[in-house]
Every structure is written in structure tokens, then in C-alpha cells.
Amino acid sequence: MTGRKKIFLTAGNQQLPSITAQARVHYSSDGRSGTVHYSSPQASFSMWYEFAGGDAIAIIDIPTPGTWVERTKLPLTDRETVLQFIGDQVVRDQVPGGGYFDCSDNTMTIYRGQKPV
């Protein structure tokens, strides 16, 4: 057992696995930029990233609400959950000592350190 808790949503009497229950994030690098790859049983898509400066480590080009369904093949209602999963995973994988992320409509910025209050 990996220690990860599976999250289940209930729909009537049927339990459905969370959209991110079996999802994975991996990376390919090309110097100061690269690609973040998301894959799950429901969908696979990629997002370009570039390294940033200061406390910002990277900026990831995420699908906007208007292009979400076309780019990801996932319902718009899953956007927040999937982006939260991706952001959390990128911080765990790529920010030694911890960090956080913020999203706008079209970018996710990854930061080191504590989120300002």
C-alpha cells in the first residue's frame, strides 16, 4: 500500500472514484522549459512550462476555462480538482523544502516557501 487514501464521490448508492484517484504527473525537460504531462484513466494532456525567477520557480501554461474541454477532453466541472491535483503534485515533486502554487485563467505559477498571508 502506498499510503495514499483513495477519495470516493457518491452518486446515489454507487461509489465513483475521484477524477484524480489514479492520475499521474510526469515531466519532460528541454533546458529552461519543458512539458508537464497529466494522465489518468479518463484523459491525458500536456502543458508547457518555463522556469521563472525570484520566489517563482516555474510558470505552467494551463488550459483556460474556454479551452479546457477541447485540450483535456474532461468536463469543465473537473478543472479545479485536476488543477489542484497537478499543482500539489508539482510542488511535491519539484520544490525541495516545500512551496505553493497559484492559478490564473491561463497560468499556474509554482513558488518556493510559504504562501504570503
pLDDT per residue over 77-102, tens digit each? 999 999 999 999 999 999 999 999 99
- Residue 91: φ, ψ to 5°: -60, -45
Strand partners, 110: 58, 101
Domain assignment present for 9: no
Q: Which domain holds residue 72?
A: 19-112
Residue 3 has pLDDT above 80, yes or no: no
3-state secondary structure of 11: strand
Domain assignment present for 14: no
Q: Is the pTM of this model over 0.75?
A: yes
Domain assignment present for 86: yes
Lowest mean pLDDT among 10-14, 53-57, 65-69, 112-116: 10-14
| Domains in the chain, number | 1
For 20-75, write each residue's pLDDT tens digit: 889 999 999 999 999 999 999 999 999 999 999 988 999 999 999 999 999 999 99
3-state secondary structure of 68: helix
Domain assignment present for 117: no
For position 13, what pLDDT does the model report? 44
Name residues whose C-beta falls within 8 Å of residue 81's C-beta, 6 or more positions apart in sequence: 18, 19, 20
Contact 91, 100 (CB under 8 A): yes
d(CA 88, CA 11): 26
Domain assignment present for 37: yes
Grid cell digits, residue 70: 477541447
Contact 36, 90 (CB under 8 A): yes
